[in-house]
Structure 1
Amino acid sequence: MRRAFLATVAGALAGAALPARAVEPAAAAAAASGSDWQPVVLPQVRRLDLASARTGQRYRIFLSVPETAPPPGGHPVIYVLDANAAFPSIALMARTAARRSKVTGRAAPVVVGIGYASGEDYDSVARARDYTPVAGGKAGKGEGGADLFLDFIELELKPLIQSTAPVNPQRQALFGHSYGGLLTLHALFTRPAAFQTWIAASPSIWYAERYILSEMAGLKTARTLPASVLLTVGELEQAAAPPTAKPTDRAAVLAQKRMVDEVRDLAAQLEAHRQEYGLERVRSIELPRENHGSALFPALSRGMEFFLE
């Protein structure tokens, strides 16, 4: 699917770069400075700003529904956090999956993006509030709203989506990156029946002295369906700090967070207790040459593949 997705993007860009006919430089400059430029609209995408009674916040919800007929039971559905930044890419991946569904035999997914009405790619204040759990009974200022946010997804957003699109409630996935990956793990450990596929990309396991790991025992809660877990992390998200590094230097901070080691360790623990925790699949992927920011996009592609397998 990665090859098909890249080919689609390359073809689209190539088609956009080649004019239908030759244009003189002066004419091209005049056209570019006029009103010929048009805003780009993603096909098959709708948007809704939704106020939550649970959190008291406004969310920008993006929805992409395949044009293909739903399979028996409905389309699989993936909920994606940080949607202002992540949704355009994964919506295109879903369209590619839909076009290839007859070849692959995989049902095309509905994609639900959960973003913020501020319009920022990453609303740092809002995501710190919504994506962090209350750790050990304490929450930092402007943090600790994860459970209210998950209530919003379960009690307000999911019913809305189920009334809008033909989705399969037994084939639901949650994708989150960074703090969103932390939230994905918190939901997995405390609400293991909420989704069937969990994709935590570059999860902030380090948060609050790695409190999230103490919640793992919640996976022993009986679930109605087996779950699948994918963990991803960029190869460059952890490096040894030089001896002369100060504690506040970037290299020292990355070394202390142990992003790569934490993903490796968590994947090993989940695999070791896979049957006990009711996990059907556990997979971890280290993304070569990717840092914390760039790792989002290959994680989206790998996550989509993992979900549709």
Structure 2
Amino acid sequence: MRTLILTIGLSVSSTFFLVAQTKKLLILGFRDSIYSKILGEKREILVHLPDTPADEFAPDQKYPVIYVLDAGSYFQTIAAISESKGGGSGNFSSPKVIVVGIVNTDRMRDLSPTHWPNPPLVPAGMAASSGGGEKFLGFIEKELIPHIDSICPAAPHRTIIGHSLGGLAAINALLNHKGLFQNHVVLDPTTWWEKESWINSVKSKLTLADYSNTSVFLAIAHSVDKSLSIEALKTDTNLRTLPMRSELNFDQYIKSIIGAHPLIYQSKYYPDYDHGGVALPGIIDAMGFIYNFYGISFPFPGFFAPDYSEDGKLAAHYEMVGKRLGYKVAPPGELINAVAHELMGSKQFDRAKKYLDLNLKNYPNSYKSYEAMGDYYKNLGKKELSEGFYKKAGGMKGR
């Protein structure tokens, strides 16, 4: 049974209920669960749907999905950032997205790729259950993603975000489950797992398959003594510097092959943040990177000048966006509609018609496409044509 999640917290007191009677609550999403046959247990998930209004031209539109590991730590943060970048305060630098947080049961088991019972730098006994990473990714691929696709308007474009062991799981998905995710946000990952033997055994897969249209963002924290420089760290042999050294080694390897093998890659070193603190700035930067192709720099005010000649620019931009996302993305109907009406207001009817025709082509099942065309012919004084489109729009609206 799904229950609402409140942004102010999952555990509440009697005082909260008294306040809630008089205050309107902010809704972040809903809680859901799925029984996994692969894992042999019930798994809890948190789901956030885009809060900004859907484009009225495409009320059934679908959205990319971000899968968040360690949901208890990062789900709310990522949901908030996605809202800000996907329409909040007029910011459309990213698409509107669905955010799915996977709540932990046995974190060590699920996020580690192999069994390593006694790793150094880890409290004794903590890694006893390690090595369930393949089963966990199998659960995501074969059970969780189909479940999300069945209950949410999910598009076939997915991102995984993980920190520490979660980052290692995201790398495992990249190398051993190619195509499961298009974007991999890897925040200070545990690449030192098995003293780097695991990462060294699988990283060459990046050279053996086509990773075009696949992106990786790697955030590296300064997790050693501040007095130790990056250059000094590279030749250090102390066990306590292994975690950071292993990340730098992985980063260097990817950069060494990137010219010959297509992978959209960016890494960033955060000298002022430690392992725990790097997640937030890393997430913010990653969200900008993985969708850096989405936003369009609209050419105000020149666009509405009568001599503007690049009317194909908007359609071409969203055609490129669709290629990057892996499915057709039409220019937002509301945007095209607003452009057309602005052009009609300045008597540029030929240009306006191009945009109205574009909406009719992309959104033939929306009454607003026909209503706008009715406005066009009304402005031209062609009453019969105008009324015909208005009638068509009215019939569709009443369905």
**Alignment TM-score, normalising by the size of structure 2:** 0.57
The answer for the alignment partner of 1:7 in structure 2 is none
- Among 121, 126, 132, the alignment partner of 2:112 is 132
CA contact (8 A) 2:67 2:161 kept: yes
Provide the secondary structure at the position in 2 that maps to 1:104: coil
The answer for the alignment partner of 1:217 in structure 2 is 204
- Among 189, 193, 207, the alignment partner of 2:175 is 189
Displacement after TM superposition at 1:240 (Å): 7.4
For residues 158-169 of structure 1, what are the structure 2 equivalents within 5 Å? 158-169=145-156
Between the aligned partners of 1:199 and 1:80, the Cα distance in structure 2 is 10
Between the aligned partners of 2:211 and 2:220, the Cα distance in structure 1 is 29
Gaps of 5+ in 2: 1-6, 9-13, 120-126, 229-237, 293-399
Displacement after TM superposition at 1:43 (Å): 2.1
Whether 2:54 is the aligned partner of 1:69: answer yes
Whether 2:217 is the aligned partner of 1:230: answer yes
Whether 2:290 is the aligned partner of 1:307: answer yes
The answer for the alignment partner of 1:115 in structure 2 is 103
CA contact (8 A) 1:239 1:254 kept: no
Between the aligned partners of 1:34 and 1:90, the Cα distance in structure 2 is 25
Whether 2:279 is the aligned partner of 1:296: answer yes
Q: Cα 1:223–1:291, aligned 2, differ >3 Å: closer, same or farther?
A: same
Displacement after TM superposition at 1:101 (Å): 8.2
Between the aligned partners of 2:25 and 2:279, the Cα distance in structure 1 is 22
**Structure number with higher strand proportion:** 1
The answer for the alignment partner of 1:18 in structure 2 is none
Give per-residue Cα distances to partners, 1:136-158, cap 9 Å, x unaligned.
9x996311000000000000011
For residues 14-93 of structure 1, what are the structure 2 equivalents within 5 Å? 36-38=18-20, 43-67=27-51, 68-69=53-54, 74-93=62-81
The answer for the alignment partner of 2:143 in structure 1 is 156
The answer for the alignment partner of 2:324 in structure 1 is none
Between the aligned partners of 1:226 and 1:100, the Cα distance in structure 2 is 27
Displacement after TM superposition at 1:209 (Å): 1.4
CA contact (8 A) 2:110 2:130 kept: yes
What is the letter of the counterpart of residue 279 of structure 2? L
| RMSD, aligned CA | 3.2
Q: Cα 1:220–1:69, aligned 2, differ >3 Å: closer, same or farther?
A: farther
For residues 260-271 of structure 1, what are the structure 2 equivalents within 5 Å? 261-271=245-255
Displacement after TM superposition at 1:298 (Å): 1.6
Q: Cα 1:297–1:132, aligned 2, differ >3 Å: closer, same or farther?
A: same
Q: Cα 1:224–1:161, aligned 2, differ >3 Å: closer, same or farther?
A: farther
The answer for the alignment partner of 1:6 in structure 2 is none
What is the letter of the counterpart of residue 278 of structure 1? P
CA contact (8 A) 2:84 2:91 kept: no
Displacement after TM superposition at 1:223 (Å): 4.4
Displacement after TM superposition at 1:182 (Å): 0.8
Displacement after TM superposition at 1:241 (Å): 9.1
Between the aligned partners of 1:36 and 1:212, the Cα distance in structure 2 is 52
Q: Cα 1:173–1:50, aligned 2, differ >3 Å: closer, same or farther?
A: same
What is the letter of the counterpart of residue 89 of structure 1? T
Between the aligned partners of 1:220 and 1:152, the Cα distance in structure 2 is 27
The answer for the alignment partner of 1:248 in structure 2 is none
Gaps of 5+ in 1: 1-11, 14-31, 117-122, 243-251
Provide the secondary structure at the position in 2 that maps to 1:188: helix
Between the aligned partners of 2:279 and 2:162, the Cα distance in structure 1 is 9
CA contact (8 A) 1:196 1:225 kept: no
Q: Which has the higher contact order (CA 8 A, sep 6+)?
A: 1
